[in-house]
């Protein structure tokens, strides 16, 4: 089947579904100019493996170095704009009766594109917290209220422990509320749209299988086959910035038809 035929088939599945979950990975932000996790990093950071840096061990071994990496990425994210793929996901909310968005991304672009119910599985790079959560979990620290610079990890104003990005590092548990909600909605939905993830990082990668086992239609959008593709009922092969707007147009037409 052609991509156009598969998009039509996907739109019909959307119109039969009552409860839709969208699950996104770094690929949906690729057309906003943000490199995906498995792509080589650029510039100063190209010789470092993100999976080595995004860990508590790396941070406590060399806090200023990892802090600088996050400040650099925070700058890239702040300069980036949501792309048509983010806007298409936001528009889907108004076309279906119930939609929950689960994202592995920490770039805040779904919220900036207008999505209203976003479950951030891996936190948010624009939020910072006390590394020991001295005032409760999480103890969010507003960087504008403390002295800090791009090169040195700041200290908590309450307890003097290091301040860190409010993101989930490898080897750390996901926020309980986020992962509990993600498992619950994945088991209840009629349709899961999986966009821009290689399906490698757990436990996020197990959500599409949970949805499929619970009877949901699984639709994947990715320019390349991934670990998710074998369990997708419909594979829309292409960049999400192009495919998702076409899918939303087809859903809108099928609804009005
Ligand atoms: C956990 C925030 C319980 C930080 C991220 C051994 C020791 C310790 C742990 C493990 C271990 N073995 C396995 C684990 C579990 C580990 C894991 O899964 N590791 C993997 C590497 C095997 N997971 C964890 O540690 C998680 N916690 O399990 O807790 C626990 C506790 C203690 C000990 C054990 C277990 C925490 C995982 C969260 C890590 N934090 N981000 C930061 O960003 O700095 S994950 C990070 O990587 C991203 O957030 C993202 O989620 C992930 C990358 O995945 P993708 O989003 O899929 O990106 P990727 O590059 O892989 O793929 C991009 C896709 O886009 C591709 O398919 C590409 O084709 C596609 N694409 C490209 N262009 C486009 C496109 N798609 C659409 N349009 C385009 N234009
Ligand atoms: Zn503190």
Tell me: the pLDDT tens digits for 154-165? 999 999 999 999
**Closest ligand (CA of 132):** 2
- Rounded to whole angstroms, the Cα distance separating 63 from 57 reads 9
Preceding amide of 203 cis, omega within 30: yes
For residue 161, give the ligand nearest its CA.
2
Domain with CATH 3.40.50.1220 in the chain: 3-33+82-122+174-256
Residue 17 in this model has a pLDDT that exceeds 90: yes
- Calculate the CA 160 to chain-centre distance: 31
- Closest to 33 (Cα-Cα) out of 96, 82, 85, 95: 82
Q: What CA–CA distance (Å, rounded) separates 46 from 106?
A: 20
pLDDT of 85:
98
Evaluate whether 213 touches 39 at the Cβ level (below 8 Å). Answer: no
- In the set 35, 86, 110, 122, the catalytic residue is 122
Residues with CB under 6 A from ligand 1: 25-28, 30-31, 36-38, 51, 54, 104, 106, 122, 167-173, 196-198, 200-203, 222-224, 226, 239-241
Q: For the chain, give the percent of residues with pLDDT over 70.
A: 98
- Atom 20, ligand 1: residue with shortest CA distance: 201
CA dist 146 and 156 (Å) reads: 8
Domain with CATH 3.30.1600.10 in the chain: 43-79+128-167
How long is the chain?
A: 257
Average of per-residue pLDDT across 96-120: 97
**In whole angstroms, what is the distance from residue 81 CA to residue 16 CA?**
32
CB neighbour class for 176 (10 Å; exposed up to 12, middle 13-18, buried from 19)? exposed
Distance CA 107, CA 126 (A): 8
Q: State the distance from the centre of ligand 1 to the C-alpha of 38, rounded, in angstroms.
A: 9
Domain 43-79+128-167, CATH among 3.30.1600.10, 3.40.50.2000, 3.90.226.10, 3.40.190.10 = 3.30.1600.10
Q: How far apart are the first and last CA of the chain?
A: 23
Q: Is the pLDDT of residue 89 over 90?
A: yes
Cα 191 to Cα 78: distance, rounded to the nearest angstrom: 32
Q: Is 122 part of the annotated catalytic residue set?
A: yes
User: Taking a C-beta distance cutoff of 8 angstroms, is the pair 167, 121 a contact?
Assistant: no
Cα–Cα–Cα angle for 243, 83, 42, nearest 5°? 105
Burial of residue 5 (number of CB atoms within 10 Å: 0-12, 13-18, 19+): exposed
The predicted model gives 98-122 an average pLDDT of 97
HEC states along 194-252?
Answer: EECCCCCCCCHHHHHHHHHHCCCEEEEEECCCCCCHHHCCEEEECCHHHHHHHHHHHHH
**CA–CA dist 88, 104 (Å, integer):** 18
DSSP 103: E
- Summarised one tens digit per residue, pLDDT across range 59-81 is 999 999 999 999 999 999 999 99
8: which 2 tokens? 């039509």
The bound ligand whose nearest atom lies closest to the alpha carbon of 130 is 2
Q: Is the pLDDT of residue 8 over 90?
A: yes
Give the pLDDT score at 156. 98
Which residue bears the tokens 């980036």? 80
pTM of the shown model: 0.96
Instruction: For residue 51, name the pLDDT band (cuts at 50, 70, 90).
Output: confident
Average pLDDT in the chain? 95
Per CATH, the number for 3-33+82-122+174-256 is: 3.40.50.1220
How far does residue 199's CA lie from ligand 1's centre (Å)?
A: 8
């Amino acid at each position: 089947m052609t991509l156009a035929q598969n998009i039509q088939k996907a739109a019909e599945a959307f119109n039969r579904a009552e409860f839709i979950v969208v699950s996104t990975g770094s690929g949906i932000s690729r057309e906003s100019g943000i490199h995906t996790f498995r792509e080589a990093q650029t510039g100063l950071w190209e010789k470092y493996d993100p999976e080595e840096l995004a860990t508590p061990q790396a941070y406590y071994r060399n806090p200023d170095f990892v802090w600088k990496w996050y400040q650099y990425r925070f700058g890239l994210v702040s300069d980036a704009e949501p792309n048509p793929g983010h806007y298409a996901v936001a528009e889907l909310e108004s076309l279906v009766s119930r939609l929950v968005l689960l994202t592995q991304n920490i770039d805040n672009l779904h919220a900036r594109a207008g999505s209203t119910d976003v479950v951030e599985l891996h936190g948010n790079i624009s939020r910072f917290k006390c590394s020991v959560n001295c005032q409760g979990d999480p103890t969010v620290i507003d960087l504008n209220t403390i002295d800090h610079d791009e090169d040195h990890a700041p200290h908590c104003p309450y307890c003097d422990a290091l301040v860190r990005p409010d993101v989930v590092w490898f080897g750390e548990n996901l926020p309980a509320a986020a992962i509990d909600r993600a498992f619950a909605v994945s088991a209840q939905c009629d349709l899961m749209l999986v966009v821009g993830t290689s399906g490698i990082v757990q436990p996020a990668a197990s959500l599409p299988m949970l949805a499929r086992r619970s009877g949901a239609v699984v639709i994947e959008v990715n320019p390349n086959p991934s670990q998710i593709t074998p369990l997708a009922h419909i594979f829309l092969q292409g960049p999400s910035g192009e495919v998702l707007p076409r899918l939303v147009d087809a859903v809108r037409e099928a609804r009005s038809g």
